[in-house]
Amino acid sequence: MPDVSNLSRRGLLLAGLAGAAAPVVTPRSGGGAWRAGAVSALPLVQPIASQRAYEAFGVCAHPHFDQSGYKYTRDWMSALASVGARYFRGLYAHQHFANRTTTELARENGIKWGATVCPDLFFPDSDLAGRIRHIASNAADVCLFIEGVNEPNNVRGWGSPPPPDWPQRTVAKQRVIWETVRSEPRLSHVHVVGPSLHASLSTESDHRRLRDAGLVRYMDFAGLHRYPGGRYPDHLLDQRLSWIKRYWSGKPAWITETGYTNALHHREKEGHAPVPEDVSAVYAPAALLEALDRGCKVSWYELLDDPDPLAKDDIESNFGMFATAFEDAPPWRAKPVVSTMRAFLARLDDPGPPYRPARIGLRVSSEAKDVRATVTGRRDGAVTLHVRRAANCWDPAARQRIPVAPVPVVVETARGSMTLVVDHNVQSIPLRT
């Protein structure tokens, strides 16, 4: 039986179904009536601070993509602000004409910037250090983290494989980043995130080689790319996190890219498996919760679709939260994931100084082994249970929907109990504690 003493971690639940006297409600009703009565011997659960959960979610963007919708800087920054995300992740290239405007708009909208700064293994060290010093002088207040080389183990755009000594080169770049950031007092608050390996190409051996080259000493967070390939968001996530734990001293992980492409007309077997737009919307809040359960932060890939001449068959061009038309000019159509995450993040947003919610007595139980629950607490004492089935609702091979049967889930607190009917949609239930 899994340990139920801490529902903010994975493996949360589940003792057997605890009675059936409480009323049963439908999955989308937001909860049922509480049944009063003392419940004995409840495990103590530590909720995650709601604001910490809110701040863990960001969105990837491309400020320097001037051949796509991102050339409309003010418009995409406005679209990002409408989602309610705490930060965006994207390249900081101070020579690019849009960089200054992006910085100013981030400041204006209270949005932080997770900066990638090293485009490849051959980027000159002097330019890399200069880019970081420019952040210190011009964008320190909006900078949230500075990240290492993006996917250094991947075959790059010019068609050549990475050099045989790519782990050593990667660590050398990471050391320049680390030492430059740490030498700048204005960046004392900035996290240094390690290189994120290609999601499908990374191996356990890659992690070991980077450790042996000295990576661990030059990062606060381990970078991680994890695309579920059309499946529920935790697909192969624990495997990759186990490699980080084994080889990178258990550094906390920042999932700097995850998401789903909506290129349903793509017919090749290779590459990311596409999903319908509404499936992306179902999986997005679960992706944040699964990251939180494992002590991770997460960046959704990405804000805007890229150019695609209406066919919607190009995998890389259809990851966006907003769909773009042929010429990519705004206004852009918000996909269902926008309203889903806007509402979900608004429930979590709880601004103020860092805080630690009080522990509560709580038991969540179901006969279904794939029920997951995450508990968040606000500074006013309100506590919310986020519960869902960790089940695929889309078959990426057959490209068809998978029915997810609702299951009863019993929730018990010191003030009573209730029964929910839970499927793959995240339900956020206020708790009576």
Number of domains in the chain: 2
The Cα–Cα gap between 302 and 319 comes to 6
The answer on 373 and 336 residing in a single domain is: no
The answer on 86 and 32 residing in a single domain is: no
pLDDT of residue 156: 67
The answer on 115 and 203 residing in a single domain is: yes
Structure tokens at 380: 């006013």
Residue 380's contacts (CB-CB under 8 Å, 6 or more residues apart) are none
The answer on 318 and 364 residing in a single domain is: no
The answer on 105 and 35 residing in a single domain is: no
pLDDT of residue 89: 98
pLDDT of residue 272: 86
Q: How many residues are there in the chain?
A: 433
The answer on 343 and 286 residing in a single domain is: yes
388: left (phi over 0), alpha (psi -120 to 50) or beta: beta
pLDDT of residue 380: 96
Enumerate residue ranges in the chain where pLDDT < 70.
Answer: 1-34, 37-40, 156-159, 269-270, 309-311
The answer on 55 and 40 residing in a single domain is: no
β-strands 407-413, 416-422 pairing: antiparallel
User: 83: domain CATH number?
Assistant: 3.20.20.80
Count CB atoms within 10 A of the CB of residue 38. Answer: 7
Half-sphere exposure of 317 (CA within 13 A, CB side): 19
- The dihedrals phi and psi of 322, each to the nearest 5 degrees, come to -120, 135
The Cα–Cα gap between 121 and 205 comes to 19
Structure tokens at 419: 């029964």
For the whole model, what pTM was predicted? 0.91
β-strands 191-193, 143-147 pairing: parallel
The answer on 403 and 256 residing in a single domain is: no
Last residue of a domain, one of 348, 367, 397: 348
Last residue of a domain, one of 319, 348, 377: 348
Last residue of a domain, one of 278, 313, 348: 348
pLDDT of residue 35: 73
Structure tokens at 415: 């003030």
Structure tokens at 115: 């900066």
Q: What is the pLDDT of residues 388-407, one digit of tens each?
A: 999 999 999 999 999 999 99
Query: Domain range spanning residue 424?
Result: 1-47+357-433
Picking from 311, 211, 201, 215, the residue whose alpha carbon sits closest to that of residue 266 is 311
